Amino acid sequence: MATQHKWLAWRVAVFLAALTPLLFWSWQVANNAAGPEPGRYLLLNIGIGGLWMLLLTLSLTPLTKLTRWKGFALIRRQLGLWTLAYATLHMLSYALFILGLNWALLGSEIVKRPYIIVGMIALIGLAVLGVTSNKWSMRKLGKRWKPLHKFSYAILGLVLLHFFWVVRADMGEWAAYALVAALIMATRLPPVARTLPKLRYRLSRT
């Protein structure tokens, strides 16, 4: 029972940690502390928050292999759904604050900003992974479930491309995210993946 309470507290803590940035940004907008363009402020910050969530989600697999701590595995689905939530809110912020819900502008916006299409594809991919992240889908898809969810790495590539297109004038921040993404993706390479348990063993001996 104590163990169950511990893991419940861990999940609640992760939930609150993921929710806090959204509450903080909303508070800043409500108190006129988000600059002259609060809509763009929300759009950018929620988008970057979504990238953070995706990176954190994908880092859980190598962290689990490295530490064998159950807590990382327990929050993988939760953070994945938070990634989808952030991406959806990012899209809604664009529709509300940039388009003004005037969908007739979408065609010209896509012509001027083709990275919108890349973002939409990434969002659709996240939605598919979110819908199939439950036990029923795992049973239904069987052996196809794992290959499907490995598309999360392709989605990360799309998100980085989307972000690259947006911030071409300032590449420093993008390069930092790309480096973290490259390190996470490197852990999927068989030689690196085989090294993680050995590294865990060596660390446990020190």
Strands (E) across 41-118 are located at none
Tokens for 160?
Answer: 């980085």
- Provide the CB-side half-sphere exposure for 194 (13 A, CA): 2
Q: State the chain's mean pLDDT as an integer.
A: 90
Q: Which of 93, 83, 67 is nearest to 197 (CA)?
A: 67
Long-range CB pairs of 83-88 (<8 Å, 24+ gap) are 83/50, 83/53, 83/54, 83/57, 83/126, 84/126, 84/127, 84/129, 84/130, 86/22, 86/46, 86/47, 86/49, 86/50, 86/53, 87/50, 87/122, 87/123, 87/126, 88/123, 88/127
pLDDT tens digits, one per residue of 53-99? 999 999 999 898 888 889 999 999 999 999 999 999 999 999 999 88
pTM metric for this prediction: 0.92
What is the rounded CA–CA span in Å between residue 192 and residue 70?
21
User: What per-residue confidence (pLDDT) applies to 204?
Assistant: 63
